[in-house]
Amino acid sequence: MVALLSADAIWQVLEHVPDPEIPAVSVVDLGIVREVSRGRVVITPTYTGCPATQVIERDIRTALDAAGFGAVAIDTTLSPPWTTDWISEAGRAKLKAYGIAPPVPAGQRAVECPQCGSRETEEISRFGSTPCKAQWRCRDCLEPFDLFKCH
Amino acid sequence: MFETLLRLGDDSLILGQRLGEWCGHAPSVEVDLSLANMGLDLIGQATHFLGAAGAAEGQGRDGDALAFHRDVLDFRNCWLVEQPNGDFAQTMARQLLFSTWQEMLFGHLEASADETIAAVAAKAVKEVRYHAELAAEWVIRLGDGTEGSRRRMAAGLDWMWRFVPELFEMDDAATAAAARGIGADVAAFREDYDARIRGVLAEATLETPKDQRPILGGRRGHHSEHLGHILAAMQFLPRTYPDATW
């Protein structure tokens, strides 16, 4: 029972650790935290070369220590590989509110402009400001925006 | 094991470093971001492979030690990745030939008997697919473009073409790794590779370059003069200031 409570408490701490590149969402929203159990937190990198990975681990460490979970270890796993399907519904809503179009599920092509909601959008570049984003533009409101790439 | 990981890691490291040279020099800001992002993906792969190589060797060397404190003769990358960037067309020729191969290689390595290799391959193959697509799009756009872009694209392919056979070389170490289930039998997907490249070139209205005498030896430490220059730039800081941290 105590173990269960502390796992819940750890999840609550992690829910307040923002992603360093997209601070509107937490590391839990993004699906970076895979598991909390038996005194350890398991995290997984989004992209192989994402420079935020090290910062994320450090931020989680700082938050855990501050909440009195100094004994909890952090492990990193590559397998199974992270996918954008692991971003929570809450995370997707937060991304959109922040101005980043959430990843489009496989099979669905239309990307919605996070500003005006139009589906008349087009890709400018497959690569954007971070490894996880592409640059898009809206043909209706003419605003450029970031799309969280389906991955 | 060490050898297999080194070959994988050095390919990614050297091409990642090469792409980094474009930073701030690409034809447009979008292309600049693309090249830097691909470089970042490759450096990420190298970090995993070389870290695992250091652990497999068991001599106390980590990924950084392998990247920054080895000399030319100790590098095991193929010749293709160390070739100069040239113009943008030449860079895209190299990227198409390499990323198409690496995508197929990682597809096979997802089933590797080694857990680390399988995990990195499964993770990175999604990123590499993006690299191969991007390169194919540019090769088609430049090849089927203006007279000038077409000439440059053909010249870039011509430069890189002689380094393709090395990608499919099965020397003793590669054969042994494949037999143990940790490496891939690259010869098995040569035909698929050729068909895919031919498809891109046909769409780009470019002729398949003539086969030339293949150049081999990178996997055993024989390299072009270009690698030394890459290492000079890449290794200068950690070698000159061994205690530097960042």
C-alpha span between A111 and A31 (Å, rounded): 21
Name every chain A residue with its beta carbon within 8 A of the beta carbon of B126: 81, 151
Mean pLDDT calculated for residue range B156-172: 96
Q: Does A49 touch chain B (CB under 8 A)?
A: yes
Q: What amino acid is encoded at B217 in this protein? A: G
With bands split at pLDDT 50, 70 and 90, how would you rate the model's confidence at A1? Answer: very low
With bands split at pLDDT 50, 70 and 90, how would you rate the model's confidence at A2? Answer: low
Sign (positive or negative) of CA dihedral B180, B186, B188, B192: positive
Q: CB–CB of A31/A91 below 8 Å? A: yes
With bands split at pLDDT 50, 70 and 90, how would you rate the model's confidence at A4? Answer: low
Q: Does A51 touch chain B (CB under 8 A)?
A: yes
Flag whether pLDDT at A106 surpasses 80: no
Architecture (CATH level 2) of domain A2-85: 2-Layer Sandwich (3.30)
Q: Is residue B246 part of a domain?
A: no
Q: CB–CB of A22/A100 below 8 Å? A: yes
Peptide bond connecting B209 to the previous residue in cis, omega within 30 degrees of 0:
no
Q: How many helices (H) and strands (E) does chain A have?
A: 3, 7
Print the domain residue range for B87. 2-209+216-240
Tell me if B34 and A78 make a contact (CB, 8 A cut-off): no
Whole-prediction pTM value?
A: 0.89
φ, ψ dihedrals at A42, nearest 5° = -105, 125
- What residue has token string 């796993």? A77
Chain A interface, best mutation among B12, B13, B37, B246, by max A CB count within 10 A? B37
Question: Nearest chain B Cα to A48, which residue?
Answer: B44
In chain B, how many domains are there?
Answer: 1
Question: Nearest chain B Cα to A79, which residue?
Answer: B119
Average pLDDT, chain B: 95
The predicted pLDDT at position A48 comes to: 84
Chain A interface, best mutation among B13, B123, B133, by max A CB count within 10 A? B123
A46-55, B75-84, B133-142: least confident range: A46-55
B190: left (phi over 0), alpha (psi -120 to 50) or beta: alpha
Tell me if A49 and B40 make a contact (CB, 8 A cut-off): yes
Helix, strand and coil content of chain B, in percent to the nearest 5, comes to: 70, 0, 30
Question: Nearest chain B Cα to A53, which residue?
Answer: B44
Q: Is residue B128 part of a domain?
A: yes
Tell me if A79 and B42 make a contact (CB, 8 A cut-off): no
Q: Is residue B109 part of a domain?
A: yes
- What residue has token string 């937060």? A94
Which residue stretches of chain A are H helix?
A: 2-14, 52-66, 89-98
Q: Is residue B190 part of a domain?
A: yes
Helix, strand and coil content of chain A, in percent to the nearest 5, comes to: 25, 20, 50
Q: Is residue B119 part of a domain?
A: yes
Sign (positive or negative) of CA dihedral B4, B5, B6, B9: positive
Mean pLDDT calculated for residue range B121-128: 94
CATH of the domain at B117: 1.20.1260.10
C-alpha span between B75 and B72 (Å, rounded): 6
A119-133, B11-25, B102-116, B160-174: least confident range: A119-133
Flag whether pLDDT at A14 surpasses 80: yes
